[in-house]
Amino acid sequence: MENKSDKPSEPCACQAGGEKSSRRDFLLKVGVGLNVVAGGLVAAPILGYALSSFAEKPDLQWIDLGEVDAFPVGKTRLATYDNPLRRSWDGATAEIPCWVRRKGDGDFTVFAINCTHLGCPVRWFEESRLFMCPCHGGAFYEDGSHASGPPPRGLYTYEHKVENGRLFVKGGILPTLANPNI
């Protein structure tokens, strides 16, 4: 309202007061614009850093689980490997366990330790030939298939190979339903 009475017609807009206010408007707009640009430039590395693990694909490597002969035929044994993607300050958490089943001579299956329900460590029971989970009562048969309880699928398995009498698995990630292929 006041503005209208101050600036009744066009020419007066060029007067001192009007000029100043349009200059301030301009500065405000430039300021906001520059900050949008600068803010974007600041946000890019911040988000890139914070979300790097969101986008990154892990580089899986072959891991030596040891001599094939360490795993007797017909048995399922716990094996432990050092996380290939470990950091020097990982400490205990780098020691990853897995279940190695040797059905025949060269017939191996390597299961992840994590129950497919909610990730707790399953235990092998030789006598009943079952993997049992201590959290919600999931059970799996010796071939990893679902036996009972809430797990939505059988145990996760590792890609594996035998070379020069040694067993290798590809690992380094935590298997989940979203990423069941270790």
Partner 1 sequence: MSEQPKSPPPVAARAIEAARGVFLWLDDRLKISNLWEHTAGHMIPKSSASWFYVFGSATLLCLMLQLVTGTLLALVYVPSGAEAYATLEYLTHEQPLGWFLRAMHYWGSEFMVTIMFLHMTQVFLFGAYKYPREITWISGCVLMLVTLGLAFTGQVMRFDEDAYWGLGIGAAIMGRVPIIGEQLVHLMLGGPIIASETLSRFFAIHVFILPGTILAIVALHLRMVLTKGINEYPKPGHVVRRETYQKEYDAIIKKEGIPFAPHGIGKDLIAASVVMGGILFCAAVFGPKGPTGPPFPSEIDVVPRPDFFFMWIFAVAALMPDWMESFALLAVPPVVILALFALPFVNGFGEKHWSRRPVAVMTVVLVYVAFGVLTYLGITSPWSPQMQAWTGDVTPADKVAGRSPLELQGLVVLQYKQCRNCHAIDGIGGHRGPDLADVGTRLTAPQLARQVIQGGGNMPAYGKNLSPAQVDALVAYMTSLVPSGEAPARDSTIPAEPQSKPTAALR
Contact residues: partner 1, CB under 8 A: 51, 53-56, 58, 78, 80, 83, 85-97, 113-114, 117-123, 125, 127-130, 132-137, 139, 141, 147-150, 152, 172-174, 176-179
Q: Least distance to partner 1 from the beta carbon of 142, Å?
A: 8
Q: Least distance to partner 1 from the beta carbon of 13, Å?
A: 41
Q: Which is nearer to partner 1, 8 or 152 (CB)?
A: 152
Q: Which is nearer to partner 1, 68 or 122 (CB)?
A: 122
Beta carbons within 8 Å of 139's beta carbon, 6+ residues apart: 130, 131, 132, 133, 147, 148, 149
Q: Which is nearer to partner 1, 18 or 119 (CB)?
A: 119
For residue 44, give the amino acid letter. A
Q: Which is nearer to partner 1, 15 or 80 (CB)?
A: 80
Q: Label residue 102 exposed, middle or buried (CB < 10 Å: 0-12, 13-18, 19+).
A: buried
Q: How far apart are CA 164 and CA 142, in angstroms?
A: 27
Q: Least distance to partner 1 from the beta carbon of 76, Å?
A: 13
Q: Least distance to partner 1 from the beta carbon of 39, Å?
A: 20
Q: Least distance to partner 1 from the beta carbon of 135, Å?
A: 6
Q: Which is nearer to partner 1, 85 or 162 (CB)?
A: 85
Q: Taking the CA of residue 52 as centre, how many other CA atoms within 13 Å lie in the half-sphere pointing to its CB?
A: 5
Distance in Å from the first CA to the final CA of the chain:
70
H/E run at residue 23: helix 16-50
